[in-house]
Amino acid sequence: MAQDLLRGGREIEAYLLILATWNFARFRYFMKTFDLQRFRETIAETKPHFERLAGCIFPTADLDVIAGDVVVIYDRFKAIAEPTGTSKIMHFKRPRLFIMWDTEIRKRCGLRSSARDYLEFHKRMKSEYGHLAWSREDKTFARAVDEYNYFHAHPE
């Protein structure tokens, strides 16, 4: 549903849906002070950065080359949507590139929640899984890595 909203040019609605459903545990707390206008501005500010990443995919992206765009996007959204929500927004905007993470995945990797940590996380995931061939059409490689990470970080 969120992907359909994105394809229809309704980014605000798509991201709010993602945050309200996939990040609901945190979203309900910061919704009280959520600044919708700032959120709109963040979407507009990050648009050119997302556009530059349009052709990038997880296994082949040169993370050092795209680091500047990733840091800007991550930092802008993190101020509004926190680290987990930010990774979800980034994944849904560029599902072939970005892997989602949450607190437990960060702990398992020994990382904090900065943009540089998010880049380091991708470098580790690329080092660990980037050599694998992926041919499924129903799921991106980045999403498959996310599911694997989630399963191992949340064993219950």
| Per-residue model confidence as pLDDT tens digits over 41-92 | 999 999 999 999 999 999 999 999 999 999 999 999 999 888 999 999 999 9
Q: Are 19 and 81 in contact (CB under 8 A)?
A: yes
Domain assignment present for residue 16? The answer is no
Q: How many domains does the chain have?
A: 1
Predicted confidence band of residue 36 (pLDDT cuts 50, 70, 90): confident
Domain assignment present for residue 14? The answer is no
pLDDT at residue number 71: 98
In DSSP notation, 91-114 reads: HHHSTTTPPP--HHHHHHHT--SS
SS (H, E, C) 110-127: CCCCCHHHHHHHHHHHHH
Range of the domain at 105: 36-153
Q: Considering the chain, what percentage of its residues have pLDDT values greater than 90?
A: 76
